Structure formats: C-alpha cells, structure tokens
Chain A
Amino acid sequence: MNADFTAAELAFQEEVRQFLAAEFPAEYRAKIDASKRLSKDEIIRWQKILYAKGWAAPTWPEEFGGTGWTQIQQHIFAMEMGLIGAPEPVPFGMKMVAPVIMAYGSDEQKQRFLPDILQSNVWWCQGYSEPNAGSDLASLKTTAVRDGDEYIVNGAKTWNTYGQYADWIFCLVRTDNTVKKQEGISFMLIDMKSPGITLKPIVLLDGHPEVNEVFFDDVRVPAENLIGEENKGWTYAKLLLTHERSNIAGVPRGKRRLAALKRIAGDTDDGFGGNMLDNPSFKIKLANIEIELSALEYSELRTLAALSVGKAPGPESSILKIVGTELAQEMDELFLELAAYQSLPFVPEQFEDGFQGTPLGTGTSAAAALTYFNNRKLSIFGGSNEIQRNIICKHVLGL
C-alpha cells in the first residue's frame, strides 16, 4: 500500500504547475482572491487558453479531442488548478452533456456539438429540475409532443444555473405519460434562441441572479435534437449524474480556503491584543477542519485508486458529496466568525466588475455572509445530501 505518485506522475505535476504559473492570468487570480466572480468572457478566455494547450477537456477520451489522461493525472490537474483558484471547465457542456452525447448521441450529433464544447464556442445550461420535481426528478412534467419532424415542448424548468449566458440547454422532457414515470422521459438538446423560450432570473440570498426559471411555450425542437431513443432519457440522465459528481469533494478548493482562513485569522484582532489564530476555540475548529479535509482527501484517493483499476464509480461518490459540501459549509461558518461585525454589510455590488465606490470591510470580510448564504445550496443541489444518504442506505447498507 502506498499513496505516492510515480516519477512520471511527478513530472506531470511539475508540468502542470509551470503551465499554470505562466498562463493563468494574474488578474483572474487577484479577482478570485478578492471573492469576485469571473465574467463569462473571462471564463471563456481561460478555457481557450487551456484548449490551445490541449488541456481543455481533462476528462474526455482522446478521440474527441480530450487529454486521455489517467484518473491520477486528472486528479493532479484538478488539484493544481484548485489550489490557485483556477476555474474548472464550465461543467454543463464539458462534464454533463458531452459524456451523454459521446455515449448515446449519433455520429452527426457528436460532430455537430462536441467540437464547440471543446473549444468553448457554445455555452450549455441544464434543464433538469422543475418546481415540483426536485429530489424526485423523475416526476418531471415538461412535455415534448412529436409533430412531424419536430417536437413541441411545453413546461417550466428551474434552478437553471447561468442560463442567461447559455446558447443551448439540455433537457429532460416527458414523451410518454402512460408508463412508469422513469420510462416516459427523453433527453433533448434545445437551442436557447428558439421562439417560445423565456428566462426569469431568480435572485438568491446573496443578491446574485445565479439561477433562472426557464419557460417553454410551444417551443419547436427538430427531432434530430433528440439524444438516442425516445423514452430512454432517464438512463442517459443517470450517466450524467455520475459525471456531475466527479471532483464533488472539492478537496483542492478546500485546501485553498483553509489556507485563506489561517491567513485571515492571523490578521484578525481578537479584541484583547492578540489575533484569532491564537484563539483557543478557533484554533481547535481550524484543526478539526484540516483533519476532516485530510480524511476526505484520502477517501477520494481510495476511490480514485479503485477507478484506476477499472471499477465503476459507486456509492463512494455520495460520501464525497456529503462530506465535501458539509465541510465547505463549515469553512463558510469560520469565515463568517472571523469577519464578525464586518460581515454585516449587504454589499454584493462591491464584488462586481466596475464597482466604483469605497469598499466596506477588511479584505473580503463583506463577502463572508454572502458566501455563507449562497453555499447553503451545496447540500441541496446535485442530488441533495438527503438523497445521497438514501443512496448509501439502499446501495451500500442494503436497507
């Protein structure tokens, strides 16, 4: 038993580090350290830098222009990216719809859609959840009715992340009402410019319209945009969910945020002449987070080692999702604790591009509460942590 990288893997790690040091724009890093979001254009520019290097699609096989990396290489790449805060590929195209197209799409669909995803020419978004179909996704009601060479789509999707940026949406739609709910669902690709699609932004607790409701009113979709067979969409969707959960543990990001917590604690006056890094109870909390992060990292590595020898991803990903998201939320609590009174201003505009005023707070303190509120989503989305526990109960414990 060992957890060492081989000489070749270490050389690869060094190559990634050198590339990121040279190519990840310094101004992006500064924005991320200041708790600001990268703009759509900035994210695309970074993706195109990765594409130029041949690293745009770390998880794709070579035949589609991916890196063809091993699981370990993917892990190293994600770690090095996460440690400096470099954004991962926009997941909706690269990690969600692309694997489905590769596995179940026609050759024509592969040629039509995959190159634009690889080159970040097209921004995708997700049309899964509905107002009454959240954890119980299979009860979705948006319908697609065949009409000649087209489908006519009607209904509403929700929790659609960054639909305002998107050119295309992949949707689960109901094509048969007469069978068991999982068996009447189809997987469909829809151009967001289609007449009849409207977007309604949803402002979240941090003041940011990160998600949308998407309404479909007699939207005509060419039948050629159906993936695979009609009424087989649920099977395809399940494949997508396993990909959505890769890197869900968020260990690299956790390490970067833990380092930030320690730095900020050292700079935060405790009110009695010392700093918060020396505060006994805060110190213990930081230690416990670091210990949990270590347990999480080694759980992820064990999963990785199993995948490397060809085992299919199993319910382990549920452990990583639960622990990773809850640990991230605990770190949010500590950022909030450090910011104290300086977390009270509600000034989301301060973290937007083009802000001209005098910023409030020390460093990123005025972002602490916003992040704490926003990250409550982590234990809700991507299969809520309750659903993840159900998976463990059913598939591991046999309950």
Chain B
Amino acid sequence: MKAFAFLRGVTTLVITLAGLLFITFVIGRVMPIDPVVAVVGDKASQETYARAREEMGLDKPIWVQFGRYIEGVARGDLGQSSSSGQPVVEDIARAFPATLELSVFAIVIGVLVGLPLGVYAAHRRNTWFDHAARFMSLFGYSTPVFWLGLIALLIFYAQLGWTSGPGRIGTAYRYTVQEWSGLLLIDTLRSGDWNAFRSAFSHIILPGLLLGYFSLAYIARMTRNFMIEELNKEYVTMARIKGASETRILWRHAFPNALVPVVTVIALSFGHLLEGAVLTETVFAWPGLGLYITKSLFSADMPAVLGGTLVVGVCFVLLNKATELIYPFLDPRTRAR
C-alpha cells in the first residue's frame, strides 16, 4: 500500500513538472522575441544568424525541440544558457544557493516575529497593539520593495555604516572562501574564517531583514485572522470559564488549532521567497535565482528560464509534500485520513 502511495506521488510529481515545463516552453516560443537575435546581436550576418539558429535547435519543429529538451532533463542536462554561455545547471548551482540562503534568513525572521505578532494582535483585537501590528503588516504589503531597499541601503549602509553594502560578501573574501554548500554563512564558518563570516553576515542582514519584514507582514496578518477565528470558538470560552490563564488559552488551546493553516501560509511564503525576489536582488546586487530567471526571460533564453522554472516547481512540490507530512503531527484528526 505504501509502495503504491509512493509510486502515485512520484507519478504526480513527474506529470506536474512536465506540464509546468510544457507550458513554460510554449510561452517562450510565442513570445515576440527572437532568441537568436538575443545571442548573435543586432548586426550579425544572415549566415551567422542561420548557423546560430541551427546550433540552438530552433530550426526543428517545436515538438521536436521540446522532446529533445525533456530527453536532456532526464539525463540531468538542462541545456546551455544562451545569455550567459554557460550550462544552465552550473548557472543554477550558483544562483540557487544565494536565493536559498537569503530566503531561509528571511523566513526565520518572518516566523520568529510574524507568529507572535499575529497571535498577540488577535488576542488584543482593536487595541493600539493590534492597530500597530496591522499598520505594520499593511505597510509591508503596500510599500514598494525597491524603494524600501534603497532607503535601507541609504540609512544603514551609506549613512550609518552599520552594515555592508550590496553583494554577498566583501571583495577581499569573494574568492578566498572554499565553496562547499554555496551558502556563504555556512561555508565561511566551515572554513573557520571568522572575518569572512562577519562579512557575509554583514551583507545578508539588510536584504534578509527587508525580505523578512515582507514575509512577517504576510504571516502576521494571516496568523491574526486564523487566531481570531479560533478565539471566537466555544472551547476557548469554556477554557476561560474554567479559569485557564490567557497565555495558556492562547498558546496551548487556540494556537495549536490555528497552526495547520499557519504552516501552509509559512510554506507558501517560503516558496515565494525561493522564486527569488527580483527587485531585492537587483537593489542589493544579490546574484540569485529571481534575477537569473527574469534576465533570461527578457532575452528569450529558454533553457535558462525552463531550468529556473523547474527548480522553482520542484521547490513548491517539495514544500507541499513537507507540509502534508507535518499536518498529522499538528492535528491528530488528519492522521486518520
């Protein structure tokens, strides 16, 4: 039975990813951009153009192109990026850890601050604390990240000098750190270079806090809503009648019941962070996945776009699976299903 469930899961995963790739592939082909021009430039001769088109396989019917691409993917070959000239696997191996590191940093902040904020805002509904929390969430939701990023750089980097500037690590350490995981905070610690670690930390803190703020705004808002719903239920009234403390009511009675949808919200928020925050990455010169996919899309570099899409798709599928696995621990009712 378990083997059947596993097989079904794998089949669903493969169909989902193949569908995702097919849709992305078709969109790429109907875009009004000639990928050959993006590679050979505006002035290339017709002969050069034709040769490049052939080399890129664009002279073949679209279904042949897609078939060849899928065949490559099955072998672990995501093709060659026409805009960077590098194998897509190498490009993604460089860009994804940068995004992952920033996303983890941001989601930790989002959860550590967003959850308590949402819980207490629900508990103190319509008080100044609730209004402040809601304003903070709304501000995070409505402020352009581009603007806020530049303002943060201006204040904390250029004026106060509290943090380092754009990029992932200082120039002096950029090529001295032995790369192991691609996550610089880990790699610098692993290599025992304390100054390099401080440099990496000093670089990630500003974009990390900024993305963390946007993440916590979403998590806090949703947590508040779920908690209000729970706090209005009869079992909470009963707990109060029985004399349970407010802290106990909040954290032992209501919060565990709100946790299932909250975990879904956290997973979604993390998934969006993993897609790459293009504007944040632009402002902070952070060489992540979002920037890579966007730039590739603008130059019709379909191998790169498809490779990036595949990674993001796998991330979402894995996150969904992870949340499904967590549910039974949070809500015993789901174990029976």
- A and B, one complex? no
Q: Which residues of B contact A (CB under 8 A)?
A: none
- Residues of A whose CB lies within 8 Å of any CB of B are none
